[in-house]
């Protein structure tokens, strides 16, 4: 059990900053999209650059699978004139 906790902590130390850096470097979208859609992007669209328009296509393809908060953030962003 102690070994599992150590491995989990080490994973967070290595992966956490990388995920945070990816989120901060995104030029498209807004704070709500980053907050509510990052998990969905990683689950359904991993490997796609968040700044690439392919991310829009991926989200459209997986619309029914996205979390409710992510769908709401997308709708609000589009209603505000975001593409």
User: Which tokens go with 68?
Assistant: 């409710």
The residue to which tokens 């906790």 are assigned = 5
Higher pLDDT pick, 11 / 35: 35
Do 71 and 63 touch, CB atoms closer than 8 A? yes
Residue range 16-62, pLDDT digits in tens = 444 444 444 568 889 999 999 999 999 999 999 999 999 999 999 99
- pLDDT in the model for residue 44: 96
Non-local (6+) Cβ contacts of 69 within 8 A are 36
When pLDDT is averaged across residues 5-9 and rounded to a whole number, the result is 42
How many domains is the chain built from? 1
- pLDDT in the model for residue 11: 42
Mutual orientation of helices 2-24 and 31-44 as an angle, nearest 10°? 120
- pLDDT in the model for residue 25: 53
Non-local (6+) Cβ contacts of 44 within 8 A are 58, 59, 62, 65, 66
Q: Which residues constitute the domain of residue 67?
A: 2-79
* pLDDT(70) > 70: yes
């Amino acid at each position: 059990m102690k070994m599992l906790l150590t491995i989990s902590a080490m994973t967070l130390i290595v992966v956490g900053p990388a995920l945070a850096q990816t989120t901060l470097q995104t030029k498209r979208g807004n704070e709500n999209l980053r907050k509510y859609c990052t998990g969905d992007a990683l689950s359904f669209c991993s490997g796609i650059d968040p700044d690439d328009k392919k991310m829009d296509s991926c989200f459209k393809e997986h619309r029914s699978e996205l979390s409710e908060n992510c769908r709401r953030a997308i709708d609000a962003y589009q209603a505000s004139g975001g593409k």
